[in-house]
Amino acid sequence: MTVADTCVHPYPAGDSSLRRMTFEARELGFDTIVVPDGTPLISSGVRVIPAALIAEESVRAVSGQIKKRENGLSLVMVNAGENGFNRAVLSLKGVHVLRNLHLTRKQSFNHICARLAADRGVAVDLDLYPVIHATGRTRQRVLVRFGELIRIYSRYRFPLTLSSNARSVLDLRSVEEITLLCSLFGMEEDDVQAALSTVGDLLNPPGPVRVVA
């Protein structure tokens, strides 16, 4: 079963090499990491899946980016926006993950979006970076928002993914730590395990990889 951190940023986006990131991820209980604009390979026994991160404000622009960047090997992840935008994005062919919902209002992802995500198999990503690193009201707002998403998830059961958005090996967290962090906003352990395995189902069949010693 895949155990994946759905977004990490090795050098040059971050300050740790890909080799260090994969080695540390393996020690923390992961067998897969997703790297924006990465290359499909296996390093330190960890599979690296490339991601295409799309941050556009119009659906037409998102669609154009998907056509340019979709290659069957990359996880296509789109930044969320307002409700109508999210509904349209969830209906686009080739979208795997809707991300950054914690930066949007509650109304941006309602029961219609949830049903669309469930029907089309599009995952909602929960970015744990602000849960780990933010403090005070900022952190509390993220916890409340994630709690809202988990409640709607409990009804519609759309796929979830979990990301550390680590830019250093120091930002990575173990599977056990992630399970505890997710309990802060009401996510059950079984649902955490399911979310960690989602990436393995989103790219089907998996693309070829090369092994790096």
Number of domains observed in the structure of the chain: 1
CATH number of the domain to which 126 belongs = 3.20.20.140
What average pLDDT score do residues 26-49 get?
Answer: 95
Instruction: Tell me which amino acid residue 130 is.
Output: P
Residue 7 contacts residue 36 (beta carbons within 8 Å): yes
> Which residue segment(s) compose the domain that 114 sits in?
4-212
Q: Is 170 exposed, middle or buried (CB count within 10 Å of its CB: 0-12, 13-18, 19+)?
A: exposed
What is the structure's pLDDT at 152?
Answer: 97
Out of 50-64, 75-89, 195-209, least confident range: 195-209
Distance, in Å, from the CA atom of 187 to the CA atom of 179, rounded to the nearest integer, reads 8
72-113 tens-digit pLDDT: 789 999 999 999 999 999 999 999 999 999 999 989 999 999
Model confidence at 205, pLDDT cuts 50, 70, 90, reads very low
Question: How many Cβ atoms sit within 10 Å of the Cβ of residue 12?
Answer: 7
Distance, in Å, from the CA atom of 167 to the CA atom of 47, rounded to the nearest integer, reads 18
Query: Which tokens hold the place of 72?
Result: 């069957």
| Whole-prediction pTM | 0.92
